Each structure stands twice: as C-alpha cells, then as structure tokens.
C-alpha cells in the first residue's frame, strides 16, 4: 500500500524531480530539448486533466488558453520586454481572465454541449489570432528575436542555453504540479470529484455546481497560460496553430494514454507521446498511424490509461501481499 501511494502521490514527484535535476549533466543537447518540451506539454496536459479527469468536463478548446499565454508572452517580450517575471504574471492572469469569460458560459452545459461550446470558443480565439495581423502577425505568428535574461539576484542566465531553459521549465512544472496536488487533495478537490460522479447529489448538499466548475476552469486555464508562456520561450515565437482545435487534441491524447483522473498519468502520457513521435518519425512521417494503432489497445485493455492501470494493478497486488 505504501508503494502504491509512492507511485501515485507527491513522493514520486519529488523522486522524479531529483532525477531530472541531474538529467542535463549527462544527456545530449537534443534530449535535453526534448525533455523540456515534454515538461511543458505535461503541465498543459495536467491542467486539462483537472477538468477532464477530476471534474468530468471534456474541453476541445483548452489550447486557446495556452495560445493566450504564448501571445501575451511574445507581445510582452517584443514591445515591453525586460522583466521576465512581469511577463509571466501577465500571461497567467490573461489566461485566467479569458478562461473566466469562456467558462462563465460553458459550465452551464454538460457533456457534449460543454465540449462543443469549448470547441467553438477555442476556434474563435484561433480565428482572432489568425486574422488580426496587425497585433498577432497573422498566419506568420510573432517571432521573438530578443529573449529577456533570467535574473536571480546578482546572477543572470540566458534562456537561450538549453540547460538553463530546461531548469527554468522544470521549476515551473514542479510548482504547477505542487499547486495542482494541493488543489486535488483539498476539500475543493473532493468537490470536483463529486461533480464528476454525481453533480445532482452535490447540488442537493448545498454546493453551487456552476461555481465549482468555473473555479476549476479558471485554474486550468491559468496553468495552460503558464504552459503557453514556457512554450513561447522554448519556440521563441507564438503562432496561431497553438490555439487550433487540433492542438487541443494533444492533452486529450496524452491524458488518455497516461490515465485520466490519475495525478501523474498525463505527464507519463506526454512522455510517451513525444518519445513515440521521436522514435517513429525516424522511420516514417506517418507517425500518427502508429499513435492511433497504440490508442486502440490502450482504450480496450488499459481503461485507466497506461500509468493508471499499472498503479492500480500494483496497488491491488500490494494489498493482497
């Protein structure tokens, strides 16, 4: 039982953090860059999992909030850009504000209606970014040519260095994961799971289901905005494709691969997604066929996802032992 709690809880995250701290010391630069992208998308997928896995809300427009964070970061660095911390704060708050505006309307509906509303708002944000060329650069996006330095007291570091960017991303990934851990393990997290299981019973107990959903939507949007900020720094640009519905499919796939409703499942799914992409594209460009072929047995034989099923089986065997 203790081993199962280790695999599914915060101690596992701390052990993983210790391993990742040493990773750039022995890994080639390419794999450091790949790990950085995995961490960014893992944070994005974990924010989506707060909605889908814990609250039962399937959003097809979650990339809109990541795109908002990316564009605010790009605009801040291009036009105002010296303080990295102020830009980061602006990205999260902007994503929170957009999530509140969208979620205020979306959380009033359930299931497929919620999914379609989130898709519609996501495509509206994509169209705005694609067509408002004077501000967003249109289909060309906004390239960032001058990166602000990372200032830590008297020390300054360049985010153009792969190892510095990796550690910066790792820090915010761990902060985001710690924040999510405190949310899902709090009484509010229990309310989210109650909404997923039986929202009528929760409403009978006196809770406002719409408010609970809206708070979860805003939290998830803010964390997606943080991931967008990191993705903009990593790619050194913001592009309309970051807001497209196809980009919103990525956290869905990662969460299903790893395990919806498990804390570390989306992060594991993100690692599987990118490592699989890297491995398969060495042989063929049609790697999505391989991913689809993998998803079929995962859905059929691993209903809890790969990580969720493994931790469940391991926990059951530990109980028997």
State pLDDT tens for residues 33-59.
Answer: 999 999 999 999 999 999 999 998 999
In angstroms, the CA 154 to CA 277 distance is 40
What is the predicted pLDDT for the residue at 35?
93
What is the predicted pLDDT for the residue at 229?
96
Residue 282 confidence (pLDDT) above 80 = no
CA contacts within 13 A on the Cβ side of 159: 23
Q: Taking a C-beta distance cutoff of 8 angstroms, is the pair 239, 81 a contact? A: no
Strand 150-152 versus strand 155-157 pairing type: antiparallel
Angular region, 161: left φ>0, alpha ψ -120 to 50, beta rest: beta
- For the chain, the average pLDDT equals 86
Helix, strand or coil, per DSSP, at residue 180: helix
Domain extents in the chain: 33-243
What is the predicted pLDDT for the residue at 298?
77
In angstroms, the CA 134 to CA 140 distance is 11
In angstroms, the CA 191 to CA 163 distance is 40
Quickly state the pLDDT bin for 129 (edges 50, 70, 90).
very high
- For residue 100, CA distances in Å to 45, 61, 159, 217, 296 come to 19, 14, 31, 7, 35
pLDDT in tens, 96-119: 999 999 999 998 888 889 999 999
CA contacts within 13 A on the Cβ side of 123: 9
The Cβ of residue 35 has, within 10 Å, a number of other Cβ atoms equal to 21
| Closest listed residue to residue 128, CA positions, set 76, 61, 81, 80 | 61
Helix, strand or coil, per DSSP, at residue 143: strand
In angstroms, the CA 71 to CA 170 distance is 21
In angstroms, the CA 200 to CA 64 distance is 30
What is the rounded average pLDDT of the residues 17-26? 81
Least confident of 20-29, 271-280, 312-321: 312-321
pLDDT in tens, 247-262: 999 999 999 888 888 8
């Amino acid at each position: 039982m203790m081993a199962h709690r280790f695999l599914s809880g915060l101690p596992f995250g701390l052990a993983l953090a210790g391993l990742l701290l040493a990773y750039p010391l022995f890994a080639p630069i390419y794999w450091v860059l790949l790990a950085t992208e995995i961490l960014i998308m893992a944070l994005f997928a974990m924010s989506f999992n707060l909605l889908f896995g814990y609250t039962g809300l399937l959003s097809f427009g979650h990339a809109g909030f990541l795109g908002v964070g990316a564009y605010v970061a790009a605009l801040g660095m291009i036009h105002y850009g010296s303080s990295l911390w102020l830009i980061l704060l602006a990205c999260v708050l902007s994503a929170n504000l957009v999530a509140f505006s969208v979620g205020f309307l979306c959380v009033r509906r359930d299931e497929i209606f919620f999914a379609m509303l989130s898709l519609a708002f996501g495509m509206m944000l994509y169209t705005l970014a694609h067509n408002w060329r004077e501000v967003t650069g249109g289909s060309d996006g906004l390239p960032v040519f001058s990166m602000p330095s990372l200032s830590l007291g008297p020390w300054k570091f360049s985010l153009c260095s792969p190892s510095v960017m990796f550690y910066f991303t790792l820090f915010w990934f761990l902060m985001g994961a710690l924040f999510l851990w405190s949310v899902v393990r709090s009484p509010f997290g229990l309310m989210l799971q109650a909404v997923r299981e039986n929202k009528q019973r929760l409403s009978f107990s006196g809770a406002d289901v719409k408010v609970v959903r809206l708070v979860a939507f805003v939290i998830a949007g803010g964390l997606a905005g943080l991931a967008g900020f990191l993705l903009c720094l990593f790619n050194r640009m913001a592009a309309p494709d970051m807001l497209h519905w196809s980009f919103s499919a990525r956290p869905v796939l990662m969460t299903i691969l790893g395990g919806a409703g498990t804390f570390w499942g989306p992060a594991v799914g993100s690692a599987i997604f990118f490592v699989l992409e890297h491995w398969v594209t060495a042989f063929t460009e049609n790697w999505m066929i391989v991913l689809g072929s993998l998803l079929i047995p995962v859905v059929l034989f691993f209903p809890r996802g790969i990580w969720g099923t493994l931790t469940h089986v391991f926990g059951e065997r530990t109980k028997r032992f």
